[in-house]
Amino acid sequence: MKQERRHRYVTEEPHIPFDCTVLYEDERIIVVDKPHFLATTPRGMWYRETALIRLRQTYGEPDIIPAHRLDRLTAGIVVFVRDRASRGAYQLLFQNHLAVKTYECLAPLRPIGRPCFGTIRKLEPPRPFPLERRSRIVKQRGILQAYEEPGTPNAETLIERVGLGHMDRTGHPLSGMDGRHMVARYVLHPRTGKTHQLRVHMNSLGLPIMGDDFYPRIIEHAYDDFSNPLELVARELEFDDPLTGEHRRFTSRIPLNEGLGEWR
């Protein structure tokens, strides 16, 4: 009998000190508010410290699977399917882009830059926002960063700037990572779902999301360093339930710039 190989990260991975909040559940799905730093599914060194494994252990249901995914560093709404017979219907909902996703982020308050590739279309000229950003994004296996290249666009994002500045909890204006640039809140509406799409599109405009350790350059942190979260939240998710037809709308409660609470 072939002995099952044990993963080293089952015992050695760091503990993620943030919990998933269950926002809704029924006999078919579980909707959670995933915190920053917690991966959706096992990958690399992360196994037990993922939203999927935590849910399976909490509910004692090994058949739970995600209907879609969020990056480990992105917080917000994730839908899991607990009923085997319903898996396909909910996964197709996301694969066919029938779910409407809305994200929020914090990024520098400054004029937009000119990207090397793709297009920018101002939707209410001469105002800079809202705008439509389209480009071709490629993500190669084994390479951490995605990148843009010439060619037919495969990624599209509608970007709004909804505040000319963002205040911290004491009422003082927030500054960027270098302490010089004011920070604004942006609302992002992805119309496609390429890997790192929102982070790449914001960075290409000269507006990298606060706390992004991939764009514009890779910054290495210790695995147990939770002091600088990516200020990106999957704020809202809407869809018509593929089995009941009921319109569903879920909203993340994780605030920008406060995602870690007392851990900040």
Note whether 200 and 107 are same-domain residues: yes
pLDDT at 46: 84
- Asked if residue 231 lies in contact with residue 211, where contact means CB atoms within 8 angstroms, the answer is yes
| Listed residues 96, 126, 142: the one ending a domain | 96
In a domain, 73, yes or no: yes
- Asked if residue 150 lies in contact with residue 213, where contact means CB atoms within 8 angstroms, the answer is no
Note whether 70 and 87 are same-domain residues: yes
Per-residue tokens: 167: 């205040």
Q: For residue 160, how many C-alpha atoms fall within 13 Å in the half-sphere facing its CB?
A: 9
- pLDDT at residue 202 tops 90: yes
Tens of pLDDT, residue by residue over 231-257, are 999 999 999 999 999 999 999 999 998
In a domain, 211, yes or no: yes
- pLDDT at residue 5 tops 80: no
Lowest mean pLDDT among 4-8, 167-171, 216-220: 4-8
Run of H or E residues at 144: none
| Listed residues 96, 120, 138: the one ending a domain | 96
Determine the average pLDDT of the residues in 35-62. Answer: 93
Q: Which of 38, 206, 30 is nearest to 133 (CA)?
A: 206
Pairing of strands 232-240, 75-81: parallel
Determine the average pLDDT of the residues in 163-172. Answer: 66
In a domain, 171, yes or no: yes
Note whether 28 and 117 are same-domain residues: no
pLDDT at 167: 64
Q: Counting every residue, how long is the chain? A: 264
pTM exceeds 0.85: yes
Tens of pLDDT, residue by residue over 208-220, are 999 999 999 999 9
Note whether 53 and 72 are same-domain residues: yes
Determine the average pLDDT of the residues in 18-43. Answer: 96
d(CA 98, CA 85): 20
Q: Which of 38, 105, 108 is nearest to 255 (CA)?
A: 105
Mean pLDDT across the chain, nearest whole number? 89
Note whether 14 and 126 are same-domain residues: no
Note whether 20 and 141 are same-domain residues: no
Q: What is the span of the domain harbouring residue 52?
A: 8-96
Note whether 136 and 231 are same-domain residues: yes
Note whether 84 and 124 are same-domain residues: no
d(CA 89, CA 75): 24
In a domain, 91, yes or no: yes
In a domain, 135, yes or no: yes
d(CA 49, CA 241): 29
CA gyration radius for the chain?
A: 19
| Listed residues 72, 96, 120: the one ending a domain | 96
Give how many domains the chain has, as a whole number.
2
Give the pLDDT band (50/70/90) at residue 45. Answer: confident
- Asked if residue 178 lies in contact with residue 108, where contact means CB atoms within 8 angstroms, the answer is no
CATH number for position 27: 3.30.2350.10
Tens of pLDDT, residue by residue over 82-104, are 999 999 999 999 999 999 999 99
